[in-house]
Amino acid sequence: MSNRTITDGAADRDIVARVIAGDIEAFGGLVEKYQDRVFSAVRNYLSNPDDALDVTQEAFVKAFTKLQSFDDNSAFYTWLYRIAINTAIDFLRRKKTRPADSLDDDKYALSGFEPPSKDPKTDPEKVAQNREQAEMLKMAISTLSDKLK
């Protein structure tokens, strides 16, 4: 084990002790130090980078709330890594078991939400285009001589 690893571990344990003692701001140092490593580890499990970012954030929140249970005989990153990977696995389980909602469900009708209509007569963009074309056609016809009208 290198001196740097020992020093890093001691520094991490000092920060954890400060956070537990009430210096909540000190946790930001751990986040800053490990956020890229945690994100990379989580990203190996999740294909969507936005999901990986959310899970990384959730892992840090869990670590913060469970900081009292950290065993300072262990390396902080090892503990944090385990939390992050478990959070990623939980995310995948939730995603797998969560049914996709259909916009045709009655619960959306009750909330006043209506999915966009496929009918071109009610599509606002098509209605606007049709009006514009009708106006242009009227203007073009008005420029014709009476004989051509």
Q: What is the pLDDT of residues 96-106, one digit of tens each?
A: 876 665 555 55
Q: Verify that 112 and 48 share a domain, yes or no.
A: no
Domain of 81, in residue numbers: 3-97
Specify the pLDDT at position 102: 58
Residues of the chain with pLDDT under 70: 1-7, 98-122, 148-149
* CATH code, 55: 1.10.1740.10
Closest CA to 94 of 124, 54, 140: 54
Specify the pLDDT at position 78: 95
Specify the pLDDT at position 131: 85
In a domain, 135, yes or no: yes
Measured between alpha carbons, how far is 86 from 122 in angstroms, rounded to an integer? 48
Specify the pLDDT at position 115: 58
Specify the pLDDT at position 72: 85
3-state secondary structure of 101: coil
Q: Verify that 86 and 23 share a domain, yes or no.
A: yes
Measured between alpha carbons, how far is 27 from 33 in angstroms, rounded to an integer? 10
In a domain, 149, yes or no: no
Specify the pLDDT at position 97: 75
Q: Verify that 114 and 80 share a domain, yes or no.
A: no
pTM above the 0.75 mark? no
Q: Verify that 33 and 54 share a domain, yes or no.
A: yes
Residue 14 amino acid letter: D
For CA atoms 112, 113, 117, 123, the dihedral sign is: positive
